[in-house]
Structure 1
Amino acid sequence: MMEKSEGTLSPFVYWAQTDSVATLKVDLKSVKDPHLRIKEETVEFSANGVGAQGLKRYSFALHLSAAIDPDKCSLKVTDRQVDLTLCKTKKAWWPRLTAKPQKPAWLKIDFDKWKSEEDFDEDETRDIRRDFPEIYDKLQKEELGYKRESAKKIYLAIYNLLQFIGFSYVLIVMYIRHYKSGAESMEGTYEAVGPAMKFIQLMQFLEVLHPMFGYTKGSALTPFLQVTGRAIILFVMIEAEPRMQTKPVVFYLFLVWSMIEVVRYPYYITQLFNMENSILTWLRYTIWVPLYPLGFLCEGVVIIR
C-alpha cells in the first residue's frame, strides 16, 4: 500500500454502500492530475486540488474490509468533487469500510447517500435506513457519537410531548380543583380548563395532516372523524352554549378525554424510538375499553341537552 510521507495531506472522504457497491466521495474541487490505483483490497488516490488546506496535493490510501473487483470500479471527476465507485466481488453489507476498526479522521460516512440507492441505477429505490436499521444506526453512532434522528421523528416527538403536557395540565387542574372544592368544582371546569382544552383540541387537527404528508402510517380518514367529532362537541355543543359549560357532564367528558390521551401520546413517543414499555403498552390497549363507552355516553348527554 502507498505510504504517506510526512506532511502529506489527506482530503475528506465520505463513503456509503449498498450490498453490491461502495462509493467514495472525495472532497476536492478543481482537481488536476488525478492518480488512482485499485487492487482487490486496497485503494490509493492522489491529486492536486482545492481541499480543506487550500490548493495543494492530496492523497489517501485505504485497506478495505473485503475484496472488490478492480476492473469494474470507476472514477468520475467533477468541478466540485471526485466520485469513486467500488464494485464488491460478493454481495454483502460491510460492517465498516476499512479492514481495521480504527478509521482515519478524514474518513466520514456519507449519510445522505445512505438514504437511498437511487444513484445506483437500480429498478427499485430502497430506504437503507429502513431496510438495515441496525447497520445504519451502528455506523451513525460510531461516526457522530450519537444516533441522529430525522426531522420528521423529532417533530412527531415534540408534538406528542406537547399534547401529553396539555392533557396532563387539564387533568392536574381538574384534580386540584376537585380536591379542594369537591363536586362544587365541576361547575367551573370549563372556565378553568376550557381554553387549554380548546387549544390542544385544535392542535389535534395536525393528526389529520400527518398521514397525508407521510409523517405517520394509515389513512387520514380515521383521525379526521375522531378529531372532527370532538371538535363539534367542544365548539358547537359546549362553547356555543354557555348554559352547557356549567354542567357536571363537561367535567366527566374532559376527564375521559384527558385520561385517554395521557396514555396515548407517551405510547406514541416510545414507538417512535422503538422503545418497549410493557405497562404503557398494556394501558394503551386496555384503558380505552371502559373509557371509550364513558366518552360516548358523555358526548351523548351533551348532544341531547
Structure 2
Amino acid sequence: MQPAAAKWYDRRDSVYVEFCVEDSKNVQVTFDKSKMDFSCITGTDNIKHQNVVELFGEIDPKESKHRRTDRSVLCCLRKAEAGKSWPRLTKDKAKCNWLSVDFNNWKDWEDDSDEDLSSFDKFSEVCIYLYLAELISTPRFSGDLIVLCLLQMMNSMGGDDLPDLDGAEEEHDSADSDDEKMPDLE
C-alpha cells in the first residue's frame, strides 16, 4: 500500500484536499475530529492507496464531504473553527512527499471581508467544473452542448445578465455583422 498524491488549499470555513487518483474504485473516506483516512484502488494498475492524515486543526466530521470523479477524489473538510487559517494540512511540520499545495486554488482569504458563496456552494461549483472538464475531454459531447449546459446552470444560479436559452436556436440562424463578405486582397 502506498499514499496517493494529493493537493490541498485553505478557505475560511473549509479545507479542500484533492487525491489525484485516476479511475479509482473502492473509495473510502473517513473523517474524524482531528484525522482523515483515505483509501482506494486505482483502476488502471490496481494499486492500493491509503493516506492517514493527522490534521492541523479540528474539523466537523458530520459536515465534511467527498466526491469522486474519474480523475480524482475531492474532499471538503469543514473546519470546526471557521475563520482560522491553516498554514499546513498536517499536524506535524514534517514535509510529506505525497502532499503539495494547490496554488491554482489557493486564495489569501484572510484579507477578504466577505465571500459571495458559502463553502459548500463553492464545493458544488468545484465539482461542476471537474464534471465539465470530464465532459470536454469526452469526444461524444460537442462544445456547443457544453456551453448550453454552462449557460443553463448559470441561469439557474441567478445570473441576471445572462442570455435566455429559450430561442437560442433561432438566434443562431439569423445573420449578424460578422457574416458579411470579406473584401478581396490586393
With normalisation by structure 1, the TM-score equals 0.35
The reply on whether 1:98 has 2:90 as its aligned counterpart is yes
Offset of 1:103 from its aligned partner?
2.8
- The residue number in structure 2 matching 1:86 is 77
Residues matched between the structures, number: 112
1:75 matched residue in structure 2: 66
**Coordinate RMSD, CA, aligned:** 2.1
Contact 2:21 2:42 in 1 (8 A): yes
Letter of the 2:10 partner, please give it: Q
Aligned to 1:40: 33
| C-alpha distance in structure 2 between counterparts of 1:50 and 1:107, whole Å | 21
**Stretches of structure 1 lacking an aligned partner (at least 5 in a row):** 1-7, 125-305
Amino acid at match of 1:103: K
Q: Is the 8 A contact 2:34 2:56 kept in 1?
A: yes
Kindly tell me: are residues 50 and 15 of structure 1, through their superposed partners in 2, closer, same or farther at Cα, counting changes over 3 Å?
farther
What is the rounded CA distance, in whole Å, between the counterparts of 1:95 and 1:29 in structure 2? 28
TM-score normalised by L of structure 2: 0.56
Q: Of 37, 40, 48, which aligns to 1:57? A: 48
Distance 1:115 1:19, change over 3 A: closer
| Aligned counterparts of 2:50 and 2:41: Cα–Cα separation in 1 | 9
1:92-241 alignment to 2 at 5 Å?
A: 92-115=84-107, 122-123=115-116
Task: Output the CA distance in 2 between the equivalents of 1:115 and 1:67.
Answer: 21
Aligned equivalents of 1:67, 1:60: Cα separation in 2: 17
The structure with the largest alpha-carbon Rg is: 1
After the TM superposition, list the runs of 4 or more consecutive aligned residues in structure 1 that deviate by more than 3 angstroms: none
Structure 1 or 2: more helix by fraction: 1
Q: What is the aligned counterpart of 1:13 among 1, 6, 22? A: 6
Q: Percent identity?
A: 25
Runs of 5+ consecutive residues of structure 2 not aligned to the other structure = 110-114, 118-186
Which of the two has greater strand per residue? 2
Residues 237-252 of structure 1: matches in 2 within 5 Å?
none
SS at 2:104 equivalent: helix
